[in-house]
Structure 1
Amino acid sequence: MHPFTPRPTVRRFAKSSLVLMALGGLSLGCTEEPKVEPPPPNPQTLCSGTFSDGTSIDVESPQPLGDVPLPEQSFCDFHTFAWNQFLYLTQTVQDPNDPVFPTKPRFLSYAPWYNMLQPNGAAAPGAFPGGATTLQVGKLDNKQAGGGQDELIDVSGNTVLYDIRFNAPMYDFIVGQNYFTQADYYAFCQPTDPSQPFTACGNTEQLWLPWGNGTPTSMGSMGSVEVKTAWRQFPANDCPASQMYCAGSGLGLIALHIAQKTPTHGEWVWASFEHLGNTPDCAAGSSTPIAPQSPLGTPWALFDPAKVPASVMETKTCGVTAANPQCNLDPHVGTSGFQQVNVCRTDALPAGGASAANCAVVGSSTQDPNANSGGNVSCLNATLRPKLAGIWQNYQLIGTLWTKGTQPPDQDFWISLFQSAKPGLPEKTAVGFPNLANSALETYLQIGSTAYDPNAPGLSNANKAGCFGCHNPVAQDSDTDLSHFPSKFNDFQSPRVPAEP
């Protein structure tokens, strides 16, 4: 039984050897067993779009959620929550702040980092979203997150670019508290070493970003939301708009991270989506096997079948370990260049789509700490994607991450997979997809991908990977909740310098 599931109350009655009851003037010897009402049926018998509270995803008119529905918060609920928020954030809206492409997905109407964060001495930005929201190529990062700060080159030889955006609650808080310049933020943080991007703060205060006002009976408003996206570059007028979302003619969306802080999950809920044409799985028998073409019948974006040994195509297995490296290799060329390397997914989803085994809702336990999360995500993808219109059918959830139990939004903690004990603070366990990594956003940080290991030995991807590897209080130690927004101040000194957002 999942730890959030209330145990049904059953009254127990002792039997007497003989109870005399007067019925209609007659004395009868009998024992009457009281009727026990059966518990109400659980609406979440399958993980296919219905939450454990009985509500369901509305694909045609998605509504935002401020928290994972209570009271149970089953593992399936988190994956369903991730899909719901994806549908809401990709819903088409009219954006008056974009004079170039006013009709766009909702997440692109959020404030880009360069609207919210300003150079030292700049005036406060205006009301959310702080200016034009048009996707600007010159403001996008060409380096991935993580210690290696590597580039990702697609099969056409073009560099993948990255954008990060913030919703109104997060924007309004940072601007309202005067944390929008490095000097103003450092006045609060009092850094011990200002030369470091993840500097330790000398003060004893913690900056808690807004978490919304959801309650056990109402989901309320959304708290802080960060959306990070990966964009493939295409020659002019060549972005395949029938296959993916294209921002203009030259940029195509291939991956999307959603991180949301909620009242019951101060560690944030992390969800990651990818385009189906990105890359196959490293091993055979999973949901997206190695093949000459992607499931969409198109060439892979990050995997070139002509550049792997024939055995890889025959066995549908691409080695990623140091002993047999065939995929996820070191992308460096010389001291500053990068090359295309074949990419595959190590933490794959199970095959079978909406099979009974994949769709089964399993309570978490010590025997099954991730509670059929992989199967549930496969089931949700197979169930919900066909209901979508147009290009959004071509994106899938690849995983959701949070910590087991609930976590107050204004309390520090430590995560057992990545950190040493912090006396006086609760230990949390990463669950769902503990090693969540996006093949287009954290290519070289995927679990087990040791042919190239940019963070070894401390956070070696041989056995440690996932959002909490970087997004935890010890790793950043910068008093900014779990957001890395202060690292973007570095871009004002050296535009497009790699920075972990």
Structure 2
Amino acid sequence: MTQDDGSGKPRFLSFTMPRTLVFGDKAPAFLPRKNQSMTGETFDEIIQAGTDGVLVDLQGHAVYYSQYLDHTFVTFVRRNGLTDPDTARHFNPKEPWPIGAKELKVSWKIVNPGEDTSGFFTTKAQIARLTYDANGHIVADPSHPRAVTLALVGFHVAGVVKGHPEMIWATFEHKDNAPDVPHQGLSPNTIVSQRNWTFYRAGTPYRACNVNAAGNLTLNEETQTLSPVTEVCRVYAEGTDPGSTDPKDVKNRKAIRELNRSVHGQLKDVWANYFEVGAIWFKDGPKLAPDESLATDDLLTGSLKLSNSTIETFTQTQSTMNNCFRCHNTVQQFPPRAGLVALPGLDLNISHAFVNIFFWSQEKKKELPAAPKK
């Protein structure tokens, strides 16, 4: 997916963005990531999954997010008419996404003038300006875009393979994003790292890392900067407890390190600066079923505490949200506002892109304004 598509860009940038399946080319190319809540709300502006948190880089800029669907995923949606909410509601609840279907979520840092980005993949993009709404909330305004250069700092890849309709969920980061927490002798005053990282300043204590400033953020609309900034650290390297001696965890950590060494040995471009944090999937094959909350790890294997420090910064230690399947499940999804209907429990609900398409389609069909911003 990071291979050159012939135009000098990685192949995934030519994939379809979920909003375009509903709104066509009018959908903005980049928006601050909106939240897919546990109650099935469509994405909220500039907040990370499951929180009201915004990741603010050390220069005061919000981290932006985009999402992509591959040809297999899009073809399945279109062939089955799943952009029609009535069709989606009555779809076979036990039919999963087809083998080969993939979705990606990508995190992007705004590049500052003079910043060295030689070790990053970068792209030019139009992004929505941040502003205050009538209620004093910081929101993105896609009607007033601005041109920036973005550096890719992290991404999720989820894909269906034979025997795993739940998708294999893997996450990747840039090697300079943030330090791993040193768990031995850890205390709130422990200095996580003595060097600077992209999202961490040298000498910052653990207690000051991954602090969610929701409700306390301020925006300078002229400079498009936010305060306070977020100091980031990765709580679980390889998505497992570093102190665990469980043979499964030991084997998983070893496999991830060997895989990264193998891949890095074959890469000669900027992609050699990115690494796999870990992956998670069902341990016993195709057990996906409608109305599964996946609130425990009983069915899961791999990196059971998997997070991306740029996508799930604030939920790394929350037991109810500390891996992909805490949010990605097959339960009924409730509407974010009056006038919309709920999405029944379907195997397809494992994809938040599909859930959002369902609610966006209703809003478009009813010609309702967008759901209120939080």
Same fold (TM over 0.5): yes
CA shift at 1:204, angstroms?
Answer: 8.1
Give the corresponding residue for 1:403. Answer: 282
1:154 to 53, 57, 61: 57
Q: Tell whether 2:30 aligns with 1:137.
A: yes
1:245 to 115, 121, 124: 121
Amino acid at match of 1:304: R
* Percent of paired sites with the same residue: 23
Q: Give yes or no for contact 1:239–1:252 (8 Å, CA) kept in 2.
A: no
Give the corresponding residue for 1:429. Answer: 299
* C-alpha distance in structure 1 between counterparts of 2:257 and 2:328, whole Å: 26
Q: Give yes or no for contact 1:228–1:256 (8 Å, CA) kept in 2.
A: yes
3-state SS of 1:247 partner: strand
1:331 to 205, 210, 213: 213
Q: Tell whether 2:193 aligns with 1:291.
A: yes
Task: Give the strand-richer structure, 1 or 2.
Answer: 2
CA shift at 1:282, angstroms?
Answer: 1.7
Distance 1:406 1:207, change over 3 A: closer
* C-alpha distance in structure 1 between counterparts of 2:102 and 2:356, whole Å: 17
* C-alpha distance in structure 2 between counterparts of 1:475 and 1:466, whole Å: 20
Structure 2 matches for 1:15-94, cutoff 5 A? 89-94=1-6
CA shift at 1:290, angstroms?
Answer: 3.9
* C-alpha distance in structure 1 between counterparts of 2:301 and 2:293, whole Å: 11
The C-alpha deviation readout for 1:310-365, integer Å capped at 9, x for no partner, is xx4xxxxx2xxxxxx33111222438766312111111149xxxxxxxxxxxxxxx
What is the CA RMSD across the aligned residues, in angstroms? Answer: 3.4
Q: Tell whether 2:230 aligns with 1:341.
A: yes
3-state SS of 1:332 partner: coil
CA shift at 1:415, angstroms?
Answer: 6.7
Amino acid at match of 1:291: S
Give the corresponding residue for 2:14. Answer: 109
| TM-score normalised per structure 1 | 0.54
For structure 2, list consecutive stretches of 5 or more residues without a partner in the other structure: 35-44, 125-147, 185-190, 220-226, 240-244, 334-343
Q: Tell whether 2:347 aligns with 1:484.
A: no
3-state SS of 1:206 partner: coil
Q: Give yes or no for contact 2:29–2:66 (8 Å, CA) kept in 1.
A: no
CA shift at 1:390, angstroms?
Answer: 1.8
Give the corresponding residue for 2:153. Answer: 254
Q: Tell whether 2:111 aligns with 1:234.
A: yes
The C-alpha deviation readout for 1:169-217, integer Å capped at 9, x for no partner, is 111121222222xxx22x1355xxxxxxxxxxxx5841734323xxxxx
Higher radius of gyration, 1 or 2: 1
Aligned length: 305
The C-alpha deviation readout for 1:241-270, integer Å capped at 9, x for no partner, is 411000136100000100001230011100
* C-alpha distance in structure 1 between counterparts of 2:202 and 2:265, whole Å: 28
2:322 to 465, 468, 472: 465
Q: Give yes or no for contact 1:436–1:467 (8 Å, CA) kept in 2.
A: yes
Q: Give yes or no for contact 1:140–1:496 (8 Å, CA) kept in 2.
A: no
Amino acid at match of 1:247: T
Q: Give yes or no for contact 2:280–2:306 (8 Å, CA) kept in 1.
A: yes
Q: Give yes or no for contact 1:173–1:209 (8 Å, CA) kept in 2.
A: no
Give the corresponding residue for 1:74. Answer: none
3-state SS of 2:72 partner: helix
3-state SS of 1:445 partner: coil
Answer with 479-488 or 266-275: which moved more: 479-488
* C-alpha distance in structure 1 between counterparts of 2:26 and 2:292, whole Å: 38
Amino acid at match of 1:346: V
Give the corresponding residue for 2:260. Answer: 381
* C-alpha distance in structure 1 between counterparts of 2:65 and 2:155, whole Å: 10
Q: Give yes or no for contact 1:332–1:339 (8 Å, CA) kept in 2.
A: no
Amino acid at match of 1:92: D
For structure 1, list consecutive stretches of 5 or more residues without a partner in the other structure: 1-88, 95-101, 119-124, 126-130, 191-202, 213-222, 294-298, 313-317, 319-324, 351-365, 420-426, 449-460
3-state SS of 1:165 partner: strand
* C-alpha distance in structure 2 between counterparts of 1:484 and 1:149, whole Å: 18
* C-alpha distance in structure 2 between counterparts of 1:279 and 1:496, whole Å: 33
Q: Give yes or no for contact 1:154–1:160 (8 Å, CA) kept in 2.
A: yes
Distance 1:396 1:496, change over 3 A: farther
Q: Give yes or no for contact 1:401–1:434 (8 Å, CA) kept in 2.
A: yes
Distance 1:110 1:246, change over 3 A: same
Q: Give yes or no for contact 1:139–1:496 (8 Å, CA) kept in 2.
A: no
CA shift at 1:166, angstroms?
Answer: 0.3
Distance 1:263 1:406, change over 3 A: same
Give the corresponding residue for 1:206. Answer: 93
Q: Give yes or no for contact 1:144–1:442 (8 Å, CA) kept in 2.
A: no
* C-alpha distance in structure 1 between counterparts of 2:214 and 2:79, whole Å: 42
Answer with 341-350 or 268-277: which moved more: 341-350
Give the corresponding residue for 1:224. Answer: 101
